[in-house]
Structures are given as C-alpha cells and as structure tokens.
Amino acid sequence: MSRSCCIINCNSRSHDSHGKPTGKEIGCYRITSLKRNCSSHVSEVTKRRLDCSHSKTKYNVPEPSSSQALGLPITDAQIAEMESHAEDIDFAVAAEEERKLRHDVMAHVHTFAHCCPTAAPIIHLGATSCYVGDNTDLIALRDGFNILLPKLARVIDRLANFAEEYADLPTLGFTHFHCLTLMSKVHKICTDIRLLANLKEIEEPFEKEQIGSSAMPYKRNPMRAERCCSLARHLIALMADPLQTASVQWLERTLDDSANRRISLPESFLTADIVLSTLQNITEGLVVYPKVIERDIHNELPFMATENIIMAIVKAGGNRQECHEKICVLSQESAAVVKQEGGDNDLLARIQRDPYFAPILGQLDALLDPKTFIGRAPQQVSKFLAEEVRPLLEPLQR
C-alpha cells in the first residue's frame, strides 16, 4: 500500500509512517515500480480505474437522463444538479460510507447524494453496480488503447526505418543460435538485440554517463532490452487473471471478478506503456556495427557457402551425394581446427587443395559473395513497408 493516495486530486494519507492503516482515509494500491516509468497519460487513466470514484459518480449522471427519456418522473433540475457536481467527490465521506455499507458503489451513491440533495431520490435509479463498473472498464480500456496504439505505431515506424536502412546488409541468421543462412534484416527485437550485442554486431542506445555494470566498467549491458523482456513476461503472466476469472464465473456471472480487474487491468496497461516507451527509445537509437558483422560473416562464410559449392559442382557434371560427403569430411576437419586449436576457418583452403573441386575453383569468389545469399530481401523489405506497414501506420501517427 502507498503512503500517499493515488486518487486524482487527493493528497490524503491512508497509512501512518510505519505503514499501518490509520482507519481514517481511503486505501489505494500503487504499483510503485511501474509508476516510476510509465507515462503520465496512462498513469492518469489507470489511477481513475484503480479508484473508480469518478466513474461511480459520473456514470450515475447519464443513466437518469436515459430514464427520463423513457418517461420516468425525473426533472431537468435533478439532472442539472448531478451534472454540475459530477467532479465533486468527497473522498473522506466516501470512505466513511464504504466502512458502514461495505459496498463501494453504494458508498459513492450516498456520497453523491450529499452533493445533490434534490437528485438524491433518483441517483442510481434502475442501475446496477455492474452498470457502473463495467462501463468504467470500457472507458478505461478505450482511453488506454488511445494512448498505447500511437506508441505502438511509433515503435513500428522506427523498426520500419531501421529495416529500410539496413535492408541490403547481409547478416548471419541463427536457428538454435547456430549459423544456418544469411539474412538481411533483424527479425526479432529485444532478445535478438541482447544476443547480437553479445556478438558486438548491434547495441541499444548507451548514454554518455551511463554505467553498464557496477562491477565491470568495460561492460555495456543491454539494460533497456532486458527490461522489455522482463516486463513482457510479466504482461504475458497477467493474461492468466481474466482467463481464470472467466473460467470460474457462476451461471450468468458473479462479482468475484471486481477486485481482480481493479489490479490486473490497470497493471496491464501500465506494463504495456512501459514496454512500448522503452522499445521506442531502443529503436530510435540502435547502433549497428557493419565491420563486425562483415568479420563474423567471413568467419562463417566457408561453411555457409557449402550448398552453393555443391550446386556449382553438380552444374559442372559432378555427383551431388559424392560432393556432399567430401565437403562433410573437409568441414569437420576445418571445424576441429577452429574448436580444438583455436585456429581460423580453413575450409576454403582445403577445398582449393582438393583436386575434386578443380572444375569450380574459378567460381569461388562469386560463390562466396555475401550479397548472393540475401536473394530479394531488399526488394521484399521495400515492398512490405510500402504496401503493408506504412498505410497501417498513417492513421495512428501524430
């Protein structure tokens, strides 16, 4: 529990200096670690959902207007009185009413009645607690997505720009973190950034006075990418809350979802907000080291080119299976030099010394050109961005 209330415009304290409830104020949860990083807009939306005070008051206003339209005896003066006091919430009175009534919505109905004595008899007329709570969630979800979707669009835009800039840069592609083929773009995000940072091929932004490690001054830990990965797991875990809640609802429904929703919904939006904000920061400052990438490619290129060499031998009249067996033997011998002796990859030299490969020796330079491994990737990137990504981003960018 927080020592200072997180309800908008409320500075009351719900606990004493020792963290014990005072019994005099409203108690509210604050997600401290998320509040430190999330944007003010999402914080405002989620604080309103955590507290629900505004919604419990404001959603008792339009309902009488609808009831009046249906013919119920509700006067314009009563509606005007409620509208004029929709933002006037006496939190101390609400807390006292809830202690007596043990019902949060009715506590605010009674509190609202103190502000609107003329309208008091018709406040919450024909309504239910779910009317207030469910509409609160819908509005909070709408407001939250209105904040998150433009952020998501900005992240995708930054990644699109990055992909466009490096579309024709050959890089090593990994499956099981083993080199299998060459690719021209980074296709994953934070986990890949962390792995590629270890290879020194790419880095997230690093500030001038930033400290990478408390123990080792040379380190530049990918702390932003690590944070995104950590919070992403948390957001995935939060998905279990609504799934489990839905699975245990009785008949039409029960109200044991309420307390869970007050925590899981705001926390989900706060977490998503942090992830997107941090990811935007990463994607706006990614640093690529082409020389390191080129070195890594050339270290692996002889192994990567073996399939091209087999194709060239077959075109020259050779037997595919026989060529595969010869390259397999030479590759294992070369790998032993790299792994056991710490030497360089000498597969290419072994191929050049073997008379079997004499028919294609003049083609080796072309067969080992990294550009020949990326196919139509640059054109595919350009087409995908122009036809799929940019049109979707346009309405969300601002």
Q: Is 176 a catalytic residue?
A: yes
Look at residue 172 and give its three-state secondary structure. strand
Which position among 18, 176, 178, 187 bears the catalytic label? Answer: 176
Look at residue 180 and give its three-state secondary structure. strand
Structure tokens at 31: 């997600």
Phi and psi (nearest 5°) for 128? -130, 170
> Position of tokens 């997230």?
204
Q: Give which of 25, 187, 169 is closest to 90, Cα–Cα.
A: 25
97 and 107 Cβ atoms separated by less than 8 Å: yes
* Gap between the Cα atoms of 30 and 67, Å rounded: 37
18 and 39 Cβ atoms separated by less than 8 Å: no
310 and 297 Cβ atoms separated by less than 8 Å: no
Contacts of 202 (CB under 8 A, 6+ apart): 186, 193, 196, 286, 287, 288, 289
Q: Is 213 a catalytic residue?
A: yes
Helix (H) or strand (E) holding 392: helix 390-393
Contacts of 267 (CB under 8 A, 6+ apart): 31, 34, 46, 238
Contacts of 308 (CB under 8 A, 6+ apart): 367, 368, 372
Contacts 24+ apart (CB under 8 A), 196-202: 197/222, 197/225, 199/292, 199/296, 200/289, 200/292, 201/171, 201/288, 201/289, 201/292, 201/293, 201/296, 202/286, 202/287, 202/288, 202/289
User: Active-site residue numbers?
Assistant: 176, 213
